[in-house]
Structure 1
């Protein structure tokens, strides 16, 4: 029994190491050890095993680690039926071509949102959205959509999270959520990033449950309150089409 527990713990530690790469593309071994809270010798052994299996690769000159080709081999076998990031990509591109701005897909993970897919605007000045980025749930159009259309228990957990910044009034935030539910979409202007704006709508699956947030983002000089109101019907309609493509 103890041996089984030890084996499971080793797997958990290896996965914790791999999950570091969701935050940035390269890590030093000592940085990983500090991040996951393990002794450097333990991390060194695990990285050696992961490297041997092709899940991480080590740059010979800098001694920094990055994801290996084996990870990309695994991702290549994701089924489009199971992965909304793959299945909805054509619709994201269609919306991008319609509105001319960067389009992203977000899901909630605890008190954060994760960008799981994005198609960049073709305009010279554009909002660049990197896939895999984690962002806080309390600011931004997509964040507010992911909270506004979540179930009541999820909303309660988010609003009562100890990490909630004191600078954001919970009562005003709750009032924003109510307005978002009435309108069917959310907007944000320079809430998280100077010079950037976004408008987002919920993607509800065929069972009516929230699956993701669909976001259009760009420079605030182009995405003004007026232009976001003009884009909102197309974004809502695109989100409805995407929702019909999802079972869960």
Structure 2
């Protein structure tokens, strides 16, 4: 049993190293050790195995590591028929052209939301959406959507989680989520950062499962509350069409 625990722990540490590459393309041994909170000797051993298997490559000139071709080989076999990042990109581009603003897809991962796809606005001044970024589930239009349209028992469990902000456990916040469900969309105006605004709607698959939040974001001087309200029906319609493409 002890040997099994050590083996599983080694796998966890190797995966932690690989996950660091979601935030940057090249890392030194020292940087990876710091990011993972591990000794350099431990990280060095794990990197040697990952390099042998082709998951990372060490650049001799910079002495930094980057992802190897084995990662691309794995992604090539990803099931793309129901992958929203692939299936919905065309509809996202249409919505971007219609709205003139950046369009993003978010999914929930515990108490965070993750941007899994984005189509950037062509405006000179725009919201630049980085794919893969994690944001708190406690703020933002997409967060409200991912909470409000979740199954009631899951929503209650999230709101009662010890890590959930105490100020957002009140009946008034739960009522706000109910209002989002009634309206079919959510908005945020300079909630997470000054000068930014967003409106979001849920994407449900044909089977009725909540798949993602569809968000249109931009500068708050363009996406004013009145403008977001005017555009909400078009965004809801786009989310409905996108859901019809997913099983």
Provide the TM-score with structure 1 as the length reference: 0.90
How much has 1:62 moved relative to structure 2? 4.6
Contact 2:159 2:169 in 1 (8 A): no
Matches of residues 62-101 of structure 1 in structure 2 within 5 Å? 62-101=62-101
The Cα of 1:126 is off from its aligned counterpart by 0.7
Contact 1:23/1:134, CA 8 A, preserved across alignment: no
Q: Where does 1:187-198 land on structure 2 (aligned, <5 Å)? A: 187-198=187-198
CA contact (8 A) 2:106 2:116 kept: yes
RMSD between superposed Cα atoms in Å: 2.1
User: 42-51 or 103-112: which moved more?
Assistant: 42-51
**Partner of 1:229 in structure 2?**
229
Distance 1:73 1:222 in 2: 42
> In 2, distance between residues paired with 1:229 and 1:66?
44
Conserved? CA contact 2:14–2:46, under 8 Å: yes
What is the CA–CA distance in structure 2 between the aligned matches of 1:58 and 1:208, rounded to whole Å? 45
Other structure's SS at 2:215 match: strand
**Shift in Å, 1:17:** 1.4
How far apart are residue 65 of structure 1 and its match?
Answer: 2.9
Give distance in 2, aligned partners of 1:134 and 1:25.
17
CA 1:89–1:221: 2 relative to 1, 3 Å: same
Aligned residue pair count: 247
* 1:152-206 alpha-carbon deviations (Å, 9 max, x no partner): 2221222122222345463332121011001000000111121110000001111
Name the residue aligned to 1:53: 53
- Give the whole-Å Cα distance in 2 for the aligned partners of 1:44 and 1:207: 46
